[in-house]
Structure 1
């Protein structure tokens, strides 16, 4: 295992980690590999609900310089929570629900900073997609100042499914986007709510924008037309706090 990037490589080390209940962020498996041992390990990983990515041989070589045998696993410092159980527990509590959905945030420092702000503003859980986002790694722990251990993180197959589930549970969804004339300060944020923050480059994806209940923007008074996503997230969350106090 490499402490630097939290990787485990090779069939037996990954198998041993799985049997020892190590938390996995994701596992990369070589495309087209023909191995009964790998096939068996894939079945065990799927039973454990571990995210599996099929990638070219070159990708594995970039992840580690060791003899990876066609498989590299990235471990996570924390376990992940079921969205359904977290939502159910939150609805049973006396507080107004507040969830945060991250649509393909890829920078680990942004991810960590967002987790820190989410914990400080009383977010009930952060929802991420299994594939495409920033890894839950040691760098995330450092940037979050330990907040990652205090706030539930839910991994879902698709962000859209999470939105449908939240809406069906009576929780409104608001996307942070510049593609609207409605500013966040004009919206009612005191109701059960989930805020969707988009990726650093593309923002909230078009398919997600079509599903949310509302869209909201932040006023930009300078010449730069966008904010860092972690900064924007902080502005949204603290407007929720302001309205609810």
Structure 2
């Protein structure tokens, strides 16, 4: 589940990577119009003796594999996606950390939007299953997440229903159902929440549903069957978690901080 290199596109995502994990940076490429906006990044690359280069838009499209590169890309060492240990999960729960769990969400853009939402609400642990239908983070995911993947750690489990049953003593598990669930009942004060979102077309697997403590359905007009899964994530995180606002911190007050 690990590739040798990953390409991150777009100014927000690129800056986020320099700010949070500069030790993973390998190469930086950009077009002439955006050069004045990344002088600090170029100075840091020069200081670290890493490759950075101004290129034509066509070459940047080739490097990034996308026309949606935003004028700047950074090539980085990708994170390893591993399985969480049960003792880790217990520690997360005792610290009050919520979990966001995806049951075979298959679209990499939806995955990116969900991760962006999770980062916005301060949810830093995301669980996905090792399943052919489940999307893994790609360059498109990083682009859509707008830097969110530098704040959200992604884990992968072999058997999602079994994982949910194992964490039931520590988390109150709420599954998002297209129909048949109850409206959210507010916050559970005894245990942190684990929110489970299903596949875009198929919803939650039956075994996954049976492992949840509660199923919830967001009421709507009925004009369309359901919300996009990333919108569902935003509503449920707002309703059930609403992490406290974090104080603003300046980005690159003296240039990016090196972790090398």
TM-score by length of 1: 0.63
How many Å apart are 1:4 and its aligned residue? 9.3
Match of residue 143 from structure 1: 144
SS of 1:196's partner is strand
Q: How does 1:113-152 map to 2 (within 5 A)?
A: 113-132=113-132, 133-152=134-153
Give the alignment's Cα RMSD to 1 decimal.
2.9
Instruction: Go from structure 1 to structure 2 and tell me whether the alpha carbon gap of 1:5 and 1:130 turns closer, same or farther (over 3 Å shift).
Output: farther
Residue 52 of structure 2 aligns with which residue? none
CA shift at 1:92, angstroms?
Answer: 4.7
1:158 Cα deviation (Å)? 1.1
SS of the residue 1:153 aligns to: strand
Structure 2 gap segments, 5+ residues each:
9-23, 25-75, 246-260
Query: Is the Cα contact below 8 Å between 2:99 and 2:193 reproduced in 1?
Result: yes
Q: Is the 8 A contact 2:100 2:126 kept in 1?
A: yes
User: Contact (CA 8 Å) 2:129, 2:158: kept in 1 or not?
Assistant: yes
* CA deviations over 1:116-143 (Å, ceiling 9, x no partner): 1111112141000122211211111111
- TM-score w.r.t. the length of structure 2 is 0.60
Partner of 1:77: 78
The correspondence for 1:91, drawn from 74, 93, 109, is 93
Q: Once the two structures are superposed, what CA deviation does each residue of 1:167-224 show, in whole Å capped at 9, x if it has no partner?
A: 13x211110003324112x243443110100000011111111111100010112411
Between the aligned partners of 2:207 and 2:141, the Cα distance in structure 1 is 28
**Which residues in structure 2 correspond to 1:211-222 (within 5 Å)?**
211-222=211-222
Length, aligned pairs only: 174
Q: What stretches of structure 1 of length at least 5 have no aligned partner?
A: 7-21, 23-74
Q: Name the CA shift for 1:243/1:138 in 2 (closer, same or farther; >3 Å).
A: closer
Structure 1 pair 181–88 and aligned structure 2 pair: CA distance change class (3 A): closer
Query: Using the alignment, how far apart are the partners of 1:4 and 1:214 within structure 2?
Result: 38
